[in-house]
Amino acid sequence: MGAFLEVKHLAKVYPDPGGAACEPVFEDVSFGLEQGEFVCIVGHSGCGKTTILNVLAGLEKASTGTVIMDGREVAGPSLERGVVFQGHALMPWLTVRENIAFAVRSRWPGRSRAQIFEHVQRFIDLVGLTGAEHKKPSALSGGMKQRVGIARAFSIEPKMLLLDEPFGALDALTRGTIQDELLRIVQATRQTVFMITHDVDEAILLGDKILLMSNGPRARIAEIVVNTLPRNRTRHTLHHDPQYYRIRNHLVDFLVERSRRIQAEVGAAAAPRAVSPGLATDAAPARDVDAAPAQSSVAHALDLIKS
Amino acid sequence: MKLSLPAKAALLTAVLLGIFLFVWYLATLPAGTASAANDEYAALMGNSSRKTTGLPTLAQMGEVAWQHVTDPFYDNGPNDKGIGIQLAYSLARVLAGFSLAALVAIPLGFLIGMSPLLYRALDPFIQVLKPISPLAWMPLALYTIKDSATSSIFVIFICSLWPMLINTAFGVASVRRDWLNVARTLEVSPLRKAFRVILPAAAPTIMTGMRISMGIAWLVIVAAEMLVGGLGIGYFVWNEWNNLSLANVIFAILVIGFTGMLLDIIFGRLQKLVTYQD
Protein backbone atom coordinates (compact mmCIF):
# COMPACT_ATOMS: atom_id res chain seq x y z
CA MET A 1 0.00 0.00 0.00
CA GLY A 2 2.59 2.52 1.09
CA ALA A 3 0.09 5.03 2.41
CA PHE A 4 1.20 7.74 4.82
CA LEU A 5 -0.66 6.07 7.66
CA GLU A 6 -1.36 2.37 7.52
CA VAL A 7 -3.61 0.72 10.04
CA LYS A 8 -3.61 -3.04 9.79
CA HIS A 9 -5.91 -5.55 11.45
CA LEU A 10 -6.38 -3.60 14.63
CA ALA A 11 -8.39 -5.25 17.39
CA LYS A 12 -9.00 -4.41 21.01
CA VAL A 13 -10.11 -6.79 23.71
CA TYR A 14 -10.69 -5.49 27.20
CA PRO A 15 -10.10 -8.32 29.64
CA ASP A 16 -12.95 -9.34 31.86
CA PRO A 17 -12.60 -8.41 35.53
CA GLY A 18 -12.57 -12.17 36.11
CA GLY A 19 -9.54 -12.49 33.86
CA ALA A 20 -11.24 -14.23 30.96
CA ALA A 21 -10.92 -12.57 27.60
CA CYS A 22 -14.25 -11.43 26.25
CA GLU A 23 -15.49 -10.24 22.89
CA PRO A 24 -13.34 -7.66 21.15
CA VAL A 25 -14.77 -4.14 21.00
CA PHE A 26 -13.58 -3.94 17.42
CA GLU A 27 -11.58 -6.27 15.23
CA ASP A 28 -9.84 -6.38 11.91
CA VAL A 29 -9.86 -2.62 11.51
CA SER A 30 -7.68 -1.69 8.55
CA PHE A 31 -7.46 1.54 6.62
CA GLY A 32 -4.98 3.98 5.18
CA LEU A 33 -4.54 7.73 5.14
CA GLU A 34 -2.74 9.74 2.51
CA GLN A 35 -0.75 12.81 3.39
CA GLY A 36 -2.98 15.89 3.43
CA GLU A 37 -6.12 13.82 3.67
CA PHE A 38 -8.95 14.58 6.08
CA VAL A 39 -10.62 11.40 7.27
CA CYS A 40 -13.67 11.28 9.50
CA ILE A 41 -14.82 8.20 11.35
CA VAL A 42 -18.51 7.84 12.15
CA GLY A 43 -20.24 5.19 14.20
CA HIS A 44 -22.44 4.61 17.19
CA SER A 45 -21.16 4.93 20.75
CA GLY A 46 -19.37 1.87 21.97
CA CYS A 47 -17.87 0.84 18.64
CA GLY A 48 -14.42 1.84 19.83
CA LYS A 49 -13.78 5.01 17.83
CA THR A 50 -12.02 6.73 20.70
CA THR A 51 -9.95 3.63 21.34
CA ILE A 52 -8.85 3.59 17.71
CA LEU A 53 -7.89 7.24 17.97
CA ASN A 54 -6.00 6.59 21.20
CA VAL A 55 -4.13 3.75 19.53
CA LEU A 56 -3.21 6.06 16.65
CA ALA A 57 -2.06 8.63 19.21
CA GLY A 58 -0.03 5.98 21.01
CA LEU A 59 -1.89 6.53 24.27
CA GLU A 60 -3.37 3.05 24.25
CA LYS A 61 -2.16 -0.29 22.96
CA ALA A 62 -4.23 -2.38 20.61
CA SER A 63 -4.60 -6.07 21.43
CA THR A 64 -3.50 -7.02 17.94
CA GLY A 65 -2.62 -5.22 14.77
CA THR A 66 -0.15 -2.51 13.82
CA VAL A 67 -0.18 1.17 13.02
CA ILE A 68 2.55 2.51 10.76
CA MET A 69 2.93 6.21 10.19
CA ASP A 70 5.39 7.56 7.67
CA GLY A 71 7.24 4.24 7.59
CA ARG A 72 7.57 3.88 11.35
CA GLU A 73 5.49 1.88 13.74
CA VAL A 74 3.49 3.83 16.29
CA ALA A 75 4.67 2.51 19.66
CA GLY A 76 3.83 5.37 22.00
CA PRO A 77 2.74 8.99 22.15
CA SER A 78 4.80 11.32 20.05
CA LEU A 79 5.05 14.96 19.10
CA GLU A 80 4.49 13.89 15.51
CA ARG A 81 0.82 13.38 16.28
CA GLY A 82 -1.17 16.21 17.78
CA VAL A 83 -4.32 15.36 19.68
CA VAL A 84 -7.37 17.53 20.29
CA PHE A 85 -9.20 15.93 23.18
CA GLN A 86 -12.92 15.58 23.57
CA GLY A 87 -13.02 17.70 26.72
CA HIS A 88 -10.47 20.28 25.49
CA ALA A 89 -8.01 19.19 28.25
CA LEU A 90 -6.62 22.67 28.79
CA MET A 91 -4.71 23.23 31.99
CA PRO A 92 -6.92 25.56 33.98
CA TRP A 93 -4.09 27.14 35.94
CA LEU A 94 -2.43 28.42 32.76
CA THR A 95 -3.58 31.24 30.53
CA VAL A 96 -4.38 30.73 26.85
CA ARG A 97 -0.87 31.77 25.89
CA GLU A 98 0.77 29.59 28.54
CA ASN A 99 -1.26 26.57 27.50
CA ILE A 100 -0.06 26.83 23.93
CA ALA A 101 3.46 27.83 24.98
CA PHE A 102 3.65 24.67 27.10
CA ALA A 103 3.17 22.62 23.94
CA VAL A 104 5.54 24.75 21.84
CA ARG A 105 8.26 24.54 24.47
CA SER A 106 7.85 20.78 24.60
CA ARG A 107 8.28 20.61 20.83
CA TRP A 108 11.27 22.96 20.58
CA PRO A 109 12.96 23.07 24.01
CA GLY A 110 15.90 25.02 22.63
CA ARG A 111 13.94 27.99 21.38
CA SER A 112 14.26 31.36 23.01
CA ARG A 113 11.46 33.04 24.90
CA ALA A 114 10.90 35.52 22.10
CA GLN A 115 10.75 32.83 19.43
CA ILE A 116 8.21 30.86 21.43
CA PHE A 117 6.18 33.99 22.10
CA GLU A 118 6.04 34.79 18.41
CA HIS A 119 5.19 31.23 17.42
CA VAL A 120 2.41 31.04 20.01
CA GLN A 121 1.01 34.38 18.90
CA ARG A 122 0.81 33.14 15.33
CA PHE A 123 -1.42 30.25 16.33
CA ILE A 124 -3.52 32.36 18.68
CA ASP A 125 -4.20 34.66 15.73
CA LEU A 126 -4.86 31.69 13.47
CA VAL A 127 -7.78 30.47 15.58
CA GLY A 128 -9.08 33.99 16.10
CA LEU A 129 -8.30 34.31 19.80
CA THR A 130 -6.29 37.52 19.53
CA GLY A 131 -6.99 39.59 22.62
CA ALA A 132 -7.79 36.59 24.84
CA GLU A 133 -4.15 35.57 25.37
CA HIS A 134 -4.15 36.36 29.06
CA LYS A 135 -7.43 34.73 29.93
CA LYS A 136 -7.65 31.54 31.91
CA PRO A 137 -9.74 28.74 30.39
CA SER A 138 -12.43 29.27 33.03
CA ALA A 139 -13.06 32.72 31.54
CA LEU A 140 -13.58 31.32 28.04
CA SER A 141 -16.69 29.96 26.40
CA GLY A 142 -16.81 26.33 25.30
CA GLY A 143 -16.07 27.27 21.72
CA MET A 144 -13.08 29.40 22.65
CA LYS A 145 -11.68 26.62 24.84
CA GLN A 146 -11.87 24.19 21.96
CA ARG A 147 -10.15 26.77 19.74
CA VAL A 148 -7.26 26.89 22.21
CA GLY A 149 -7.13 23.10 22.09
CA ILE A 150 -6.96 23.22 18.30
CA ALA A 151 -4.31 25.94 18.37
CA ARG A 152 -2.28 23.88 20.84
CA ALA A 153 -2.45 20.79 18.63
CA PHE A 154 -1.59 22.76 15.47
CA SER A 155 1.20 24.74 17.14
CA ILE A 156 3.51 21.74 17.42
CA GLU A 157 3.15 21.27 13.65
CA PRO A 158 2.52 17.55 13.85
CA LYS A 159 2.56 15.23 10.88
CA MET A 160 -0.94 14.14 11.72
CA LEU A 161 -3.72 15.64 13.75
CA LEU A 162 -6.13 13.50 15.75
CA LEU A 163 -9.43 15.05 16.74
CA ASP A 164 -11.66 13.22 19.19
CA GLU A 165 -15.12 14.62 18.62
CA PRO A 166 -13.86 18.12 19.26
CA PHE A 167 -17.15 19.92 18.76
CA GLY A 168 -19.44 17.46 20.51
CA ALA A 169 -20.12 19.71 23.48
CA LEU A 170 -20.71 22.91 21.50
CA ASP A 171 -23.97 24.50 20.48
CA ALA A 172 -24.88 24.37 16.79
CA LEU A 173 -23.97 27.97 15.98
CA THR A 174 -20.55 27.88 17.62
CA ARG A 175 -19.90 24.51 16.07
CA GLY A 176 -20.59 25.93 12.63
CA THR A 177 -18.12 28.78 12.97
CA ILE A 178 -15.38 26.59 14.37
CA GLN A 179 -15.93 24.01 11.63
CA ASP A 180 -15.44 26.78 9.09
CA GLU A 181 -12.26 27.84 10.83
CA LEU A 182 -10.93 24.31 11.01
CA LEU A 183 -11.71 23.83 7.33
CA ARG A 184 -9.89 27.05 6.47
CA ILE A 185 -6.83 26.15 8.55
CA VAL A 186 -6.67 22.60 7.23
CA GLN A 187 -7.02 23.76 3.64
CA ALA A 188 -4.28 26.32 4.19
CA THR A 189 -1.86 23.96 5.96
CA ARG A 190 -2.66 20.74 4.07
CA GLN A 191 -2.68 19.02 7.44
CA THR A 192 -3.40 15.30 7.62
CA VAL A 193 -6.35 14.85 9.96
CA PHE A 194 -8.15 11.92 11.52
CA MET A 195 -11.34 12.95 13.27
CA ILE A 196 -14.10 11.26 15.23
CA THR A 197 -17.55 12.74 14.90
CA HIS A 198 -21.16 11.92 15.58
CA ASP A 199 -22.36 14.62 13.26
CA VAL A 200 -23.08 13.45 9.71
CA ASP A 201 -23.03 16.99 8.31
CA GLU A 202 -19.74 17.69 9.97
CA ALA A 203 -18.27 14.57 8.40
CA ILE A 204 -19.50 15.60 4.93
CA LEU A 205 -18.22 19.14 5.32
CA LEU A 206 -14.76 18.22 6.59
CA GLY A 207 -13.97 14.69 5.48
CA ASP A 208 -12.38 13.61 2.22
CA LYS A 209 -13.13 10.08 3.27
CA ILE A 210 -15.67 8.96 5.82
CA LEU A 211 -15.10 5.65 7.58
CA LEU A 212 -18.32 4.02 8.71
CA MET A 213 -18.09 1.68 11.66
CA SER A 214 -20.59 -1.02 12.43
CA ASN A 215 -21.85 -1.38 15.99
CA GLY A 216 -19.72 -2.92 18.71
CA PRO A 217 -18.80 -5.36 20.06
CA ARG A 218 -16.93 -6.86 17.13
CA ALA A 219 -17.20 -3.53 15.35
CA ARG A 220 -15.50 -3.18 11.98
CA ILE A 221 -15.03 -0.55 9.40
CA ALA A 222 -17.91 -1.47 7.14
CA GLU A 223 -17.56 1.11 4.41
CA ILE A 224 -15.26 3.83 3.29
CA VAL A 225 -17.35 6.62 1.81
CA VAL A 226 -15.42 8.76 -0.61
CA ASN A 227 -16.56 12.34 -0.40
CA THR A 228 -16.91 13.43 -4.01
CA LEU A 229 -17.99 16.98 -3.19
CA PRO A 230 -15.54 19.60 -4.44
CA ARG A 231 -12.82 20.29 -1.93
CA ASN A 232 -13.50 24.00 -1.80
CA ARG A 233 -16.93 23.34 -0.33
CA THR A 234 -18.16 25.56 2.47
CA ARG A 235 -20.91 25.24 5.01
CA HIS A 236 -23.00 27.76 3.09
CA THR A 237 -22.83 26.15 -0.35
CA LEU A 238 -22.77 22.55 0.78
CA HIS A 239 -26.50 21.88 0.82
CA HIS A 240 -27.03 23.26 -2.69
CA ASP A 241 -25.03 20.44 -4.21
CA PRO A 242 -27.22 17.48 -5.24
CA GLN A 243 -24.44 15.11 -4.17
CA TYR A 244 -24.78 16.33 -0.60
CA TYR A 245 -28.17 14.70 -0.07
CA ARG A 246 -27.14 11.45 -1.65
CA ILE A 247 -24.11 11.22 0.62
CA ARG A 248 -26.08 12.34 3.64
CA ASN A 249 -28.86 9.81 3.02
CA HIS A 250 -26.28 7.11 2.58
CA LEU A 251 -24.63 7.93 5.89
CA VAL A 252 -27.89 8.25 7.80
CA ASP A 253 -29.19 5.01 6.31
CA PHE A 254 -26.04 3.34 7.43
CA LEU A 255 -26.28 4.65 10.99
CA VAL A 256 -29.95 3.87 11.56
CA GLU A 257 -30.16 0.62 9.67
CA ARG A 258 -27.12 -1.13 8.34
CA SER A 259 -24.63 -0.51 11.16
CA ARG A 260 -26.63 -2.91 13.30
CA ARG A 261 -27.23 -5.47 10.60
CA ILE A 262 -23.57 -5.70 9.70
CA GLN A 263 -22.72 -6.38 13.31
CA ALA A 264 -25.01 -9.41 13.20
CA GLU A 265 -23.15 -10.87 10.23
CA VAL A 266 -20.21 -12.06 12.31
CA GLY A 267 -17.40 -13.38 10.19
CA ALA A 268 -18.57 -11.64 7.04
CA ALA A 269 -16.16 -10.21 4.50
CA ALA A 270 -13.61 -8.26 6.48
CA ALA A 271 -12.41 -5.82 3.86
CA PRO A 272 -14.42 -2.61 3.91
CA ARG A 273 -15.76 -1.51 0.56
CA ALA A 274 -15.23 1.95 -0.81
CA VAL A 275 -18.35 3.68 -2.04
CA SER A 276 -19.07 7.07 -3.55
CA PRO A 277 -22.74 7.60 -2.87
CA GLY A 278 -22.43 11.20 -3.96
CA LEU A 279 -22.31 10.09 -7.56
CA ALA A 280 -25.71 9.13 -8.95
CA THR A 281 -24.47 5.91 -10.52
CA ASP A 282 -23.20 4.63 -7.21
CA ALA A 283 -26.10 5.66 -5.04
CA ALA A 284 -27.70 2.29 -4.40
CA PRO A 285 -26.28 0.95 -1.13
CA ALA A 286 -26.41 -2.75 -2.01
CA ARG A 287 -23.87 -2.83 -4.80
CA ASP A 288 -21.39 -5.46 -5.76
CA VAL A 289 -18.42 -5.02 -3.48
CA ASP A 290 -15.58 -5.44 -5.93
CA ALA A 291 -17.05 -3.36 -8.69
CA ALA A 292 -17.66 -0.33 -6.55
CA PRO A 293 -14.24 1.39 -6.51
CA ALA A 294 -13.65 1.01 -10.23
CA GLN A 295 -17.08 2.27 -11.10
CA SER A 296 -16.86 5.16 -8.76
CA SER A 297 -13.61 6.40 -10.19
CA VAL A 298 -15.04 6.34 -13.70
CA ALA A 299 -18.14 8.10 -12.52
CA HIS A 300 -15.99 10.54 -10.60
CA ALA A 301 -14.07 11.40 -13.75
CA LEU A 302 -17.33 11.89 -15.63
CA ASP A 303 -18.57 14.15 -12.89
CA LEU A 304 -15.44 16.22 -13.09
CA ILE A 305 -15.86 16.64 -16.84
CA LYS A 306 -19.44 17.74 -16.40
CA SER A 307 -18.65 20.34 -13.79
CA MET B 1 -32.37 51.60 57.83
CA LYS B 2 -30.93 49.26 55.22
CA LEU B 3 -27.77 47.41 56.12
CA SER B 4 -25.75 45.05 53.98
CA LEU B 5 -25.39 41.46 55.11
CA PRO B 6 -21.77 41.85 56.33
CA ALA B 7 -22.73 44.98 58.27
CA LYS B 8 -25.65 43.16 59.88
CA ALA B 9 -23.41 40.24 60.75
CA ALA B 10 -20.82 42.57 62.30
CA LEU B 11 -23.50 44.26 64.33
CA LEU B 12 -24.82 40.93 65.58
CA THR B 13 -21.29 39.84 66.46
CA ALA B 14 -20.81 43.01 68.50
CA VAL B 15 -24.13 42.50 70.29
CA LEU B 16 -23.27 38.87 71.14
CA LEU B 17 -19.87 39.94 72.43
CA GLY B 18 -21.59 42.62 74.52
CA ILE B 19 -23.98 40.08 76.02
CA PHE B 20 -21.09 37.73 76.80
CA LEU B 21 -19.10 40.47 78.52
CA PHE B 22 -22.18 41.56 80.45
CA VAL B 23 -22.77 38.02 81.72
CA TRP B 24 -19.13 37.87 82.70
CA TYR B 25 -19.53 41.17 84.52
CA LEU B 26 -22.60 39.87 86.41
CA ALA B 27 -20.94 36.60 87.27
CA THR B 28 -17.93 38.31 88.80
CA LEU B 29 -19.77 41.01 90.80
CA PRO B 30 -18.46 41.17 94.39
CA ALA B 31 -20.68 39.04 96.60
CA GLY B 32 -22.49 42.08 98.26
CA THR B 33 -23.84 41.71 101.84
CA ALA B 34 -21.68 39.31 103.72
CA SER B 35 -18.83 41.71 103.29
CA ALA B 36 -17.67 43.31 106.54
CA ALA B 37 -16.08 40.33 108.20
CA ASN B 38 -14.88 38.95 104.92
CA ASP B 39 -13.25 42.23 103.98
CA GLU B 40 -11.38 42.27 107.22
CA TYR B 41 -10.33 38.70 106.66
CA ALA B 42 -9.28 39.54 103.18
CA ALA B 43 -7.29 42.49 104.44
CA LEU B 44 -5.56 40.21 106.90
CA MET B 45 -4.73 37.87 104.06
CA GLY B 46 -2.99 40.71 102.30
CA ASN B 47 -5.10 41.18 99.21
CA SER B 48 -7.77 43.56 100.38
CA SER B 49 -8.76 44.99 97.06
CA ARG B 50 -8.71 41.67 95.25
CA LYS B 51 -11.67 39.40 95.00
CA THR B 52 -10.93 35.78 95.70
CA THR B 53 -13.86 33.89 94.17
CA GLY B 54 -11.66 32.69 91.29
CA LEU B 55 -12.81 34.21 88.04
CA PRO B 56 -11.23 37.60 87.40
CA THR B 57 -13.45 40.61 86.87
CA LEU B 58 -13.41 42.42 83.56
CA ALA B 59 -11.28 45.18 85.06
CA GLN B 60 -8.68 42.71 86.32
CA MET B 61 -8.75 40.96 82.98
CA GLY B 62 -8.16 44.26 81.18
CA GLU B 63 -5.32 45.11 83.50
CA VAL B 64 -3.60 41.76 82.88
CA ALA B 65 -4.13 42.03 79.14
CA TRP B 66 -2.70 45.55 79.13
CA GLN B 67 0.42 44.37 80.97
CA HIS B 68 0.97 41.57 78.48
CA VAL B 69 0.31 43.69 75.42
CA THR B 70 2.53 46.55 76.52
CA ASP B 71 5.41 44.34 77.63
CA PRO B 72 5.27 41.06 75.72
CA PHE B 73 9.00 40.32 75.65
CA TYR B 74 10.21 40.75 79.24
CA ASP B 75 12.50 38.12 80.60
CA ASN B 76 12.75 37.70 84.36
CA GLY B 77 14.42 34.34 84.46
CA PRO B 78 13.45 30.81 83.45
CA ASN B 79 9.91 30.73 84.80
CA ASP B 80 8.83 34.30 84.12
CA LYS B 81 9.01 35.35 80.50
CA GLY B 82 6.70 37.60 78.50
CA ILE B 83 3.85 36.11 76.50
CA GLY B 84 5.49 37.23 73.24
CA ILE B 85 8.54 35.09 73.98
CA GLN B 86 6.35 32.13 74.92
CA LEU B 87 4.36 32.50 71.74
CA ALA B 88 7.52 32.81 69.64
CA TYR B 89 8.86 29.55 71.06
CA SER B 90 5.61 27.72 70.33
CA LEU B 91 5.44 29.10 66.80
CA ALA B 92 9.05 28.18 66.14
CA ARG B 93 8.40 24.58 67.26
CA VAL B 94 5.27 24.33 65.17
CA LEU B 95 7.05 25.78 62.17
CA ALA B 96 10.01 23.42 62.56
CA GLY B 97 7.86 20.30 62.99
CA PHE B 98 5.50 21.35 60.25
CA SER B 99 8.27 22.13 57.76
CA LEU B 100 9.98 18.82 58.41
CA ALA B 101 6.66 17.05 57.93
CA ALA B 102 6.08 18.91 54.65
CA LEU B 103 9.57 17.97 53.43
CA VAL B 104 8.76 14.31 54.04
CA ALA B 105 5.05 14.21 53.26
CA ILE B 106 4.93 16.04 49.95
CA PRO B 107 7.64 14.08 48.08
CA LEU B 108 6.47 10.81 49.63
CA GLY B 109 2.86 11.66 48.84
CA PHE B 110 3.92 12.32 45.26
CA LEU B 111 5.46 8.88 44.99
CA ILE B 112 2.50 7.18 46.63
CA GLY B 113 0.08 9.05 44.42
CA MET B 114 1.94 8.13 41.25
CA SER B 115 2.46 4.47 42.07
CA PRO B 116 -0.58 2.31 42.72
CA LEU B 117 1.81 -0.33 44.06
CA LEU B 118 3.25 1.96 46.73
CA TYR B 119 -0.24 3.23 47.48
CA ARG B 120 -1.43 -0.23 48.36
CA ALA B 121 1.79 -1.27 50.07
CA LEU B 122 1.93 1.74 52.40
CA ASP B 123 -1.79 2.07 53.00
CA PRO B 124 -1.89 -0.31 56.02
CA PHE B 125 0.91 1.62 57.73
CA ILE B 126 -0.81 4.92 57.14
CA GLN B 127 -4.17 3.61 58.31
CA VAL B 128 -2.69 2.31 61.57
CA LEU B 129 -0.40 5.26 62.31
CA LYS B 130 -2.85 8.01 61.37
CA PRO B 131 -5.36 7.62 64.23
CA ILE B 132 -2.68 7.55 66.95
CA SER B 133 -2.87 10.61 69.17
CA PRO B 134 0.40 12.46 68.58
CA LEU B 135 0.92 12.74 72.35
CA ALA B 136 1.09 8.96 72.56
CA TRP B 137 4.45 9.23 70.80
CA MET B 138 5.81 11.47 73.52
CA PRO B 139 7.35 8.82 75.82
CA LEU B 140 8.98 7.12 72.88
CA ALA B 141 10.25 10.46 71.59
CA LEU B 142 11.59 11.47 75.00
CA TYR B 143 13.35 8.14 75.38
CA THR B 144 14.97 8.14 71.95
CA ILE B 145 15.64 11.86 71.48
CA LYS B 146 16.39 12.61 75.14
CA ASP B 147 15.56 16.28 74.69
CA SER B 148 12.17 17.68 75.60
CA ALA B 149 12.17 20.59 73.15
CA THR B 150 13.12 18.37 70.23
CA SER B 151 10.57 15.82 71.35
CA SER B 152 7.79 18.36 71.08
CA ILE B 153 8.99 19.20 67.57
CA PHE B 154 8.85 15.50 66.77
CA VAL B 155 5.30 15.33 68.05
CA ILE B 156 4.33 18.24 65.81
CA PHE B 157 6.10 16.51 62.92
CA ILE B 158 4.20 13.28 63.41
CA CYS B 159 0.81 14.95 63.75
CA SER B 160 1.20 17.21 60.70
CA LEU B 161 2.55 14.38 58.58
CA TRP B 162 -0.65 12.44 57.89
CA PRO B 163 -3.04 15.03 56.50
CA MET B 164 -0.33 16.32 54.15
CA LEU B 165 0.73 12.84 53.10
CA ILE B 166 -2.79 11.61 52.46
CA ASN B 167 -3.91 14.75 50.67
CA THR B 168 -0.81 14.90 48.50
CA ALA B 169 -1.19 11.27 47.50
CA PHE B 170 -4.87 11.75 46.80
CA GLY B 171 -4.30 14.96 44.84
CA VAL B 172 -1.55 13.42 42.75
CA ALA B 173 -3.49 10.21 42.14
CA SER B 174 -6.56 12.08 40.97
CA VAL B 175 -4.91 14.44 38.49
CA ARG B 176 -7.17 14.36 35.47
CA ARG B 177 -6.17 11.78 32.87
CA ASP B 178 -6.62 14.29 30.08
CA TRP B 179 -3.83 16.49 31.40
CA LEU B 180 -1.50 13.54 31.76
CA ASN B 181 -2.38 12.47 28.23
CA VAL B 182 -1.59 15.97 26.97
CA ALA B 183 1.78 15.70 28.65
CA ARG B 184 2.32 12.25 27.14
CA THR B 185 1.48 13.32 23.58
CA LEU B 186 3.83 16.27 24.02
CA GLU B 187 6.60 13.90 25.19
CA VAL B 188 7.14 15.94 28.35
CA SER B 189 10.00 14.69 30.53
CA PRO B 190 8.99 13.10 33.86
CA LEU B 191 10.50 15.92 35.92
CA ARG B 192 8.81 18.63 33.87
CA LYS B 193 5.56 16.70 34.05
CA ALA B 194 5.84 16.50 37.84
CA PHE B 195 6.48 20.20 38.29
CA ARG B 196 4.47 21.73 35.47
CA VAL B 197 1.45 19.45 35.31
CA ILE B 198 0.99 17.28 38.40
CA LEU B 199 2.13 19.79 41.03
CA PRO B 200 -0.12 22.65 39.89
CA ALA B 201 -2.98 20.24 39.30
CA ALA B 202 -2.69 18.76 42.79
CA ALA B 203 -1.70 22.01 44.53
CA PRO B 204 -5.17 22.87 45.87
CA THR B 205 -5.52 19.42 47.45
CA ILE B 206 -1.98 19.54 48.83
CA MET B 207 -2.62 22.99 50.26
CA THR B 208 -5.81 21.75 51.91
CA GLY B 209 -3.73 19.04 53.57
CA MET B 210 -1.21 21.64 54.75
CA ARG B 211 -3.99 23.78 56.17
CA ILE B 212 -5.46 20.85 58.09
CA SER B 213 -1.97 19.88 59.32
CA MET B 214 -1.28 23.38 60.56
CA GLY B 215 -4.59 23.43 62.42
CA ILE B 216 -3.79 20.13 64.12
CA ALA B 217 -0.21 21.18 64.87
CA TRP B 218 -1.43 24.29 66.64
CA LEU B 219 -3.87 22.21 68.68
CA VAL B 220 -1.20 19.72 69.63
CA ILE B 221 1.60 22.11 70.53
CA VAL B 222 -0.32 23.43 73.56
CA ALA B 223 -0.83 19.93 74.93
CA ALA B 224 2.74 18.91 74.11
CA GLU B 225 4.21 21.92 75.90
CA MET B 226 2.04 21.29 78.94
CA LEU B 227 3.56 17.84 79.03
CA VAL B 228 7.23 18.68 78.47
CA GLY B 229 7.30 22.06 80.23
CA GLY B 230 10.01 24.65 79.96
CA LEU B 231 8.85 27.28 77.54
CA GLY B 232 6.03 28.01 75.18
CA ILE B 233 2.44 29.11 75.28
CA GLY B 234 1.17 25.70 76.40
CA TYR B 235 3.58 25.64 79.30
CA PHE B 236 2.62 29.21 80.12
CA VAL B 237 -1.03 28.17 80.49
CA TRP B 238 -0.10 25.32 82.79
CA ASN B 239 2.30 27.45 84.79
CA GLU B 240 -0.31 30.16 85.34
CA TRP B 241 -2.79 27.50 86.41
CA ASN B 242 -0.30 26.41 89.03
CA ASN B 243 -0.02 30.08 90.04
CA LEU B 244 -3.83 30.17 90.22
CA SER B 245 -3.79 33.21 87.98
CA LEU B 246 -6.90 32.62 85.91
CA ALA B 247 -6.62 36.04 84.29
CA ASN B 248 -3.32 35.00 82.74
CA VAL B 249 -4.78 31.64 81.72
CA ILE B 250 -7.71 33.32 80.02
CA PHE B 251 -5.46 35.81 78.27
CA ALA B 252 -3.22 32.98 77.04
CA ILE B 253 -6.27 31.10 75.77
CA LEU B 254 -7.28 34.15 73.77
CA VAL B 255 -3.77 34.48 72.38
CA ILE B 256 -3.82 30.81 71.32
CA GLY B 257 -7.17 31.31 69.63
CA PHE B 258 -6.16 34.42 67.74
CA THR B 259 -2.84 32.92 66.65
CA GLY B 260 -4.61 29.80 65.38
CA MET B 261 -7.04 31.97 63.47
CA LEU B 262 -4.19 33.96 61.95
CA LEU B 263 -2.38 30.80 60.85
CA ASP B 264 -5.58 29.50 59.29
CA ILE B 265 -6.12 32.78 57.46
CA ILE B 266 -2.58 32.65 56.07
CA PHE B 267 -3.09 29.12 54.78
CA GLY B 268 -6.51 30.05 53.47
CA ARG B 269 -4.85 32.79 51.42
CA LEU B 270 -2.19 30.41 50.14
CA GLN B 271 -4.90 27.94 49.24
CA LYS B 272 -6.75 30.59 47.28
CA LEU B 273 -3.53 31.44 45.49
CA VAL B 274 -3.05 27.94 44.07
CA THR B 275 -6.69 27.13 43.45
CA TYR B 276 -7.76 27.19 39.84
CA GLN B 277 -11.23 27.43 38.46
CA ASP B 278 -12.20 24.68 36.12
- ipTM for the complex? 0.81
**How far apart are the C-alpha atoms of A285 and A257, rounded to whole Å?**
11
Who's near B60: CB < 8 A, 6+ residues apart? B50, B51, B247
CATH number of the domain encompassing residue A31: 3.40.50.300
* A148 within a domain of the structure (yes/no): no
* B174 within a domain of the structure (yes/no): yes
CATH number of the domain encompassing residue B139: 1.10.3720.10
Distances (CA, A) of A162 to A182, A187, B116, B139: 13, 16, 30, 62
* A226 within a domain of the structure (yes/no): yes
**How far apart are the C-alpha atoms of B248 and B250, rounded to whole Å?**
5
**How far apart are the C-alpha atoms of B224 and B159, rounded to whole Å?**
11
Nearest alpha-carbon partner for A84 in A135, A143, A152, A133: A152
Domain boundaries, position B102 = 83-220+260-274
Task: Decide if B185 and A82 are in contact by the 8 Å CB cutoff.
Answer: yes
* A296 within a domain of the structure (yes/no): yes
Residues of chain A with Cβ-Cβ distance to B278 below 8 Å are 92, 137-138
Q: List per-residue pLDDT tens for chain A, 307 residues long.
A: 568 899 988 888 887 776 666 788 888 888 889 998 999 999 888 888 889 999 999 999 989 899 999 988 998 999 999 999 988 899 999 999 999 999 999 999 999 999 999 999 999 998 888 999 999 999 998 889 999 999 999 999 999 999 998 888 788 888 888 888 888 888 888 889 999 998 898 999 999 999 998 887 888 888 888 888 888 888 888 888 888 888 988 888 888 888 777 766 655 555 677 787 777 654 444 444 443 444 444 445 445 554 4
* In contact, A136 and A95? CB cutoff 8 Å: yes
Task: Decide if A92 and B278 are in contact by the 8 Å CB cutoff.
Answer: yes
* A137 within a domain of the structure (yes/no): no
* A111 within a domain of the structure (yes/no): no
Q: Which of B176, B181, B185, B195 to mutate to test the interface with A (most CBs of A within 10 A)?
A: B185
Quote the DSSP letter at residue A214: P
The tally of domains found in chain B comes to 1
Task: Decide if A59 and B181 are in contact by the 8 Å CB cutoff.
Answer: yes
SS3 A223: strand
Q: Is B278 on the interface with A (CB under 8 A)?
A: yes
Q: Which of residues 98-127 of B touch A (CB under 8 A)?
A: none
Residues of chain B with Cβ-Cβ distance to A59 below 8 Å are 181, 184-185
Where does B115-244 have alpha helices with state H?
Answer: 116-129, 138-145, 148-173, 177-185, 190-193, 199-228, 233-242
- Residue of chain B whose alpha carbon sits nearest to that of A157: B186
Amino acid identity, residue B234?
Answer: G
Domain boundaries, position A267 = 5-80+158-306
- pLDDT of residue B155 exceeding 60, the answer is yes
* B1 within a domain of the structure (yes/no): no
Helical pair B138-145 and B199-228, crossing angle rounded to 10 deg: 80
**How far apart are the C-alpha atoms of A41 and B238, rounded to whole Å?**
75
Task: Decide if B184 and A91 are in contact by the 8 Å CB cutoff.
Answer: no
| Rounded (to 5) percent helix, strand, coil in chain A | 40, 20, 40
The tally of domains found in chain A comes to 1
